[in-house]
Amino acid sequence: MQLRYYYRLYPAPGQRAALARAFGCARTVFNDALRAREEARVAGLPYLTDAELSARLTAAKASAERAWLGEVSAMVLQRALADLSAAYRNFFASLTGTRKGPKVGPPRFRTRKDSKQAIRFTANARFRVTAGGKLRLPKIGDVPVRWSRQLPSVPSSVTVVKDPAGRYLASFVVQVGPNALAETEPVIGIDLGLTHFAVLSDGRKIASPRFLRRAEEKLRRRQHDLSRKQDGSKNRDKARIKVARAHALVADARREFHHQLPPTLIRENQAVAVEDQAVSGLARTGLAKSVHDAGWSAFVHMLEYKARRYGRGFYRIGRFEPTSRVCSACRADDGPKPLHVRIWQCQGCGAWLDRDINAAVNVARAAGLAVTACGAQVRPGVLPAQRGEAGTHPTSRPAAA
């Protein structure tokens, strides 16, 4: 199993200039090759092979017009060609319907204005981590790294990315054993729901802590009391004050909870993805709506703040993504499911799926994060009874630690 590990890079000004040159060269090589294939296609000529593109690259480097390509590692340019060929393979597989995963269109030209600039080094490009803990990149130099977590083994490749915020990231590909997966998964999707406060794509379900549930129950009772008091009566005024106090207690308890969970999630993961607004219109009624919505938006806001603060990836995906109806194992769209269906069997591949965890995996995928679907699958032998929306679950774990 291959996993990606992300770290922040802090290149010096000269290294930033060298990286900008490398991004530009990789882009040029990619675009030249794409143009050559496209021109061959328009002219009715056969598809240019990888070997032909490689030969054209060698010729270009010898020409006056493209001599500056020699300033960057030859491996970076070869990887740019390999990326183009991979993009073509994915496109052709989409056309013939043999592609696993979402369909993709034909490769498009890269520009300086793309949100992400990237170059890739494989092991034979002789990148390495120096004794001093810097990342040595050919023709770039020894780049300082913030090692936020340990690499479990020697990486097979590294991609250097400049993101839209101007930050530099190193993404290492590391081979790990299947058992290491649960501990080392560096990214996570979060589904915010009614049965649990949050469900994570690795299979964890996080209930609201007891102190928050108690405060919310009290608020609900006080609001019920208030609704039974007569308009304009003294008792109604008293009840209204009690509701206001209960509201304040809920707000305090929620703030405390929201200060506990996001730092933990950000510490454990390199990137988090969360659905913008989690619950379908059906479940959004009365008090449940106001209490939960306020809690979620505060939680998401805090999560985003912490992610930015510590240089982690934060992704918010729109509600239009059909996260609760698409199978995370085979991506078949099984149609809408009523809220009481907590576990369902995919008609496409036969996998049994936990509704909430499946949604969390899909949230992560929609954000472009590579997570496995393992956590979402349940064995039909342990199929629990369906339970009400207010019920608890045997795997519930309070987040408070």
- Identify which of residues 223 and 328 has a Cβ nearer to Zn ion in the complex: 328
Contact 191, 198 (CB under 8 A): yes
**Is the backbone of residue 261 left (phi > 0), alpha (psi -120 to 50) or beta?**
alpha
Task: Give the separation between CA 247 and CA 260, rounded to whole angstroms.
Answer: 20
Show contacts with Zn ion in window 307-326 (CB under 5 A). none
- Identify which of residues 57 and 327 has a Cβ nearer to Zn ion in the complex: 327
Beta strands in 237-367 (DSSP E): 271-275, 313-317, 343-345, 352-354
Show contacts with Zn ion in window 347-376 (CB under 5 A). 348-349, 351
Number of residues that bind Zn ion (CB under 5 A): 8
Place of tokens 């299979």: 203
For Zn ion, which residue of 158, 329, 366, 373 counts as binding (CB under 5 A)?
Answer: 329
Contact 272, 303 (CB under 8 A): yes
- Looking at residue 57, its amino acid is L
Sole window of 152-160, 236-244, 286-294, 338-346 interacting with Zn ion (rule: CB under 5 A):
338-346
The reply to whether 356 belongs to the active site is yes
DSSP 326: B
Residue 392, both tokens: 């608890």
- Identify which of residues 293 and 334 has a Cβ nearer to Zn ion in the complex: 334
Contact 149, 327 (CB under 8 A): no
The reply to whether 275 belongs to the active site is yes
Catalytic residue among 83, 191, 202, 216: 191
Residue 136, both tokens: 């040595």
Sole window of 105-113, 316-324, 339-347, 381-389 interacting with Zn ion (rule: CB under 5 A):
339-347
For Zn ion, which residue of 250, 327, 359, 376 counts as binding (CB under 5 A)?
Answer: 327
Show contacts with Zn ion in window 70-89 (CB under 5 A). none
- Identify which of residues 81 and 346 has a Cβ nearer to Zn ion in the complex: 346
- Looking at residue 295, its amino acid is G
- Identify which of residues 144 and 322 has a Cβ nearer to Zn ion in the complex: 322
Contact 67, 44 (CB under 8 A): no
CB of 374 to Zn ion, least distance (A): 13
CB of 356 to Zn ion, least distance (A): 16
CB of 102 to Zn ion, least distance (A): 14
- Identify which of residues 214 and 331 has a Cβ nearer to Zn ion in the complex: 331
125 binding Zn ion? (CB under 5 A): no
- Looking at residue 195, its amino acid is T
Catalytic residue among 32, 216, 275, 354: 275
CB atoms within 10 A of CB 376: 26
Residue 171, both tokens: 């993404």
**Residues of this chain that bind Zn ion (CB under 5 A):** 327, 329-330, 332, 346, 348-349, 351
- List residues with catalytic annotation: 191, 275, 356
